[in-house]
Chain A
Amino acid sequence: MKTLDQYNFAGKKALIRVDYNVPLDNNFQVTDDTRLQATIPTINKIRKDGGAVILMSHLGRPKSGPSEEFSLKHLIKYLDDTFKTQVKFADDCIGEEANKLAAALKPGDILLLENLRFYKEEEKGDVEFARKLSQLGDVYVNDAFGTAHRAHASTAVIAQFFPEKVCGYVMQAELDNAKKVLERADRLLHRYYGRGQNFR
C-alpha cells in the first residue's frame, strides 16, 4: 500500500475520499469539526507538492436525491477559511459541470463535490457511477476510515479505475493505532501463556 509520503502529487489532480459526515446545527454551522480538521495534513501535503485537490464525501443519510439539508455546500465557507483559498464547488458530483470544474483546476486549487449519497448508486457500489467519478482525477486517495468497512462506489469500487492508489494520513494513522491495540493485546496473551509454561 502506497502512503502519502511515497507519492509526489506535482501536476496531478488527486481525487480524495474524505469523511465530512459532520454534525450541523439548524443554521448549517459545523458543531464538531474533528473530521474536517483531521484531513488538513493530507490536503496540505498534496497542495504543497503542486497538486490539485478534489474532495468527495457523503453527509448524513439523504433518502431521495438532492436536498438542502444534506448539501455539502454548507462546508464551503469552513473550507475557504481553513485553507485560505476560494474552494470551488460542483453541485452535482458527476456530470458535465463537475468534469469542467475538475479539468480547470490549477496546482493548489481545491474542488468540493456535492454529497455522493444524493445518488443511490454510491451505497450500492455501482461500477458505472464509480467510473464517472474516477474521470475527475488522476490519482485516488482514500482518507475516510469511518466508511472503510463499506464497499461503496467511492470507498472501494472506484479504486479499480486508478493505476495509482494512495493511503491518506488519516487512514494511515487509524490503521497504525488500531494495529497497536491488537499487537499489545497479543503480547499480553503471550505473556500469560509464557508464565503458564514455566509453571508446568
Chain B
Amino acid sequence: MTYTFVKAQGGQIGNSLVEADKLELAKQLIEKAKSKGVKLLLPVDSTVADAFKNDAKARNEKSSSIPDGWMGLDIGTQAREDFAKVVESSQTVLWNGPMGVFEMPNFAKGTIRVAEAVVKATENGGFSLIGGGDSAAAVNNLGFGDKVSYVSTGGGALLEYMEGKELPGVKALE
C-alpha cells in the first residue's frame, strides 16, 4: 500500500506494487490527514529487491527513490525504528496488514519489528487488536498470539465495523 502513497506524492517507486487507480484517493487521504492534524506515517526507507523471491539481491533505499528494476518488499532499517517507536508508546493499537512480504524470511524484518513493538505496547498496559488473515498469521507464526490483547478472525468485517458501518450479520441477530 505504501508505494501508492509514495507515488501519489511524486516519488520514484521503481517496480514496486502500486494501485494505479487509487493514486487520487491516496492524495486525498494525505490531504485529509494533514487538515485534521493526523500523523500519517509512511516508511522513509524500504528494503528493495531485484526480484520477487527470498534470495533476490536486496538493499536499503529511500522509499521515494527506488530505481527501475527494483521493488520494495519490506520497510527499511530507519522505518522499522520509526514505526516501532510510535507503536511501543501507544495505548491503543489496531494492526491490519504486515509490513512486507513476511512469508519470505529476508523480507520479514519489518513485520517482526512491528510485532515486537505491539507486544511491548501490550506489556505496558496498552490494548492491541490484530485483524486480517495476514497479520493474524504473522503474529501467530511468531508465537506472539498470546502476547497481544486480541487476534481477530475477521479482516474486512473488522475494518467495516471500525468505519462505523452496521454489519448485516450482526443486525440480523437483533
Contact = CB atoms under 8 A, between A and B. Distances in A.
Interface of A: 1-2, 17, 19, 32, 34-35, 38, 142, 144-151, 155-160, 165-167, 170-171, 173-175, 177-178, 180-182, 184-185, 188
B173 A142 contact: yes
Interface of chain A, main secondary structure: helix
Interface string B141-174: 0000000011111111110111001011111111
Contacts, number: 105
Given A34-B136, A173-B150, A178-B152, A146 B172 contact: no
Nearest to A182: B162
Given A151-B168, A181-B162, A170 B153 contact: yes
B172 A165 contact: yes
Contact of B153 (A19, A159, A181): A19
Given A158-B172, A167-B170, 13 more contacts: A34-B151, A34-B153, A145-B157, A146-B153, A146-B154, A146-B157, A148-B154, A148-B167, A156-B172, A178-B152, A180-B129, A182-B162, A188-B91
Interface of B: 91-92, 94, 127, 129, 136-137, 140, 149-158, 160-162, 165, 167-174
A1 B172 CA distance: 9
Contact of A147 (B151, B157, B173): B157
